[in-house]
Amino acid sequence: MNAIVAGVGMTTFGKHMDRQLKSLAVEAIQSAIEDAGLSLADIEAAYYANVAAGTMVGQVCIPGQVALREMGLGGIPVVNVKNACASASTAFHQGCAMVSAGVYDVVLVVGAEKLYHQDKSRTFSVFDGCVDYEDFDRVVDSVKTRIARAGGAADEGAGQHSFFMDIYAAMALDHMAAHGTTQAQFAAISAKNSRHGNLNPYAQYRGVMSVEEVLAARGIAYPLTLPMCSPIGDGAAAAILVSERKARQLGVNRSVRVRSSVLASGRDSVAGEEAGITELAAKQAYDEAGVGPDDLDVIELHDASAPSELIYYETLGLCPRGQGGQLAESGDTALGGRIPVNPSGGLLRKGHPIGATGLAQIAELTWQLRGVATGRQVSGARVALAENGGGYIGEDAAAMVISVLSC
């Protein structure tokens, strides 16, 4: 990869019932363009990520063209990207690839989403569509079987939360059975991310919670309590990618280089193979960037649930398999620790407007590498990793994007 992140921008994440999807996208785009020191006329192509517009606001097609027209930008190629929760990071990957290939010198990538609606069933239906919907009943039965096999309550809270929380509960129960992981170790992640999110002005939730408060909160699907589950949200994030030639021309002095960006898709596992899509994508991303887990200074990863973050500690190589629980309670992944994870507060506290999430990670890491993440800055951050997964196929993510950035 030879792409440079020249500018980033995002809205606050949260409940924006009084705003249109277009207005959120425009705010993030304008911030990114201003940050890059460019103008609308400089943009040669755009990749626009969104998942739920068709369901939530009726914008089934052309959401990118609609948003860009709102701010007077037209004529250029606009590619609309829909890849479940990995949509924004997929748009980022595609933009980086086109810049690296020399097709464009300046590319806009943006993700925007509105998930809040008076009818919660409409919101939940968006997540139902992130699995094989034509085989939905079989997928549900498979997850229920996993939960029951591990001793959980397969129907706990049915219809009151996203089906993905049942998937994460199954993952958590499997990990607990295999490695002795405890509910308190999952709670330690939620508590840690609440401390980080309290420092982030863009975060949806700013209050600090203790491990005890996380454990005492309302149950969702055992072992998950409410603070262990990422909230729905509205918001947008954007980045401007430029070529090395354009960066030199602009005299960009706060450049963040994309060392690698790998997009991989879930598949049926091979008998006897332990490595899933995250391990495979991480290895490729590390190899292309010429780094390893020990070289990372800061990470933003897809903590759609607290157990997700713990399991990603292992699949990204931050600790051996089965030791994610110990790492979670060690303090090493907190600000000031050995390898800070989700200094933004992560999806659990920053929020998870799914079409924008991947680019919000890129924005946070760009600020970290520039040394301007006021109040939550990771000291001396030079190499960063973003991991963003989406959808569910078999027993793995359907889409996975891992990107390595450096300054």
- 237 falls in which pLDDT band (50, 70, 90)? very high
pLDDT in tens, 270-279: 656 677 999 9
Q: Is 243 exposed, middle or buried (0-12, 13-18, 19+ CB in 10 A)?
A: buried
Q: What pLDDT was estimated at residue 159?
A: 55
Q: What pLDDT was estimated at residue 393?
A: 86
- 16 falls in which pLDDT band (50, 70, 90)? very high
Rounded Cα distance, 223 and 176, in Å: 10
Contact assessment for residue 174 and residue 146, using Cβ atoms and an 8 Å cutoff = yes
Given a cut of 90, is residue 131 above it in pLDDT? no
Contact assessment for residue 49 and residue 81, using Cβ atoms and an 8 Å cutoff = yes
Residues 394-398: what's their mean pLDDT?
A: 86
Task: Provide the β-strand partners of residue 47.
Answer: 79, 109
pLDDT in tens, 22-51: 999 999 999 999 999 999 999 999 999 999
Bond before 223 cis per omega within 30 degrees: yes
Q: What pLDDT was estimated at residue 119?
A: 86
Active site residue 319: no
Given a cut of 60, is residue 70 above it in pLDDT? yes
Strands (DSSP E) found in 145-195? none
Q: What pLDDT was estimated at residue 155?
A: 53
- 148 falls in which pLDDT band (50, 70, 90)? confident
Given a cut of 80, is residue 145 above it in pLDDT? no
Residues 15-26: what's their mean pLDDT?
A: 96
Q: What pLDDT was estimated at residue 128?
A: 81
> Which of 16, 85, 161, 407 is an active site residue?
85
Active site residue 352: yes
* DSSP summary character for residue 103: S
Strands (DSSP E) found in 303-359? none
> Which of 175, 302, 352, 407 is an active site residue?
352
Rounded Cα distance, 346 and 13, in Å: 12
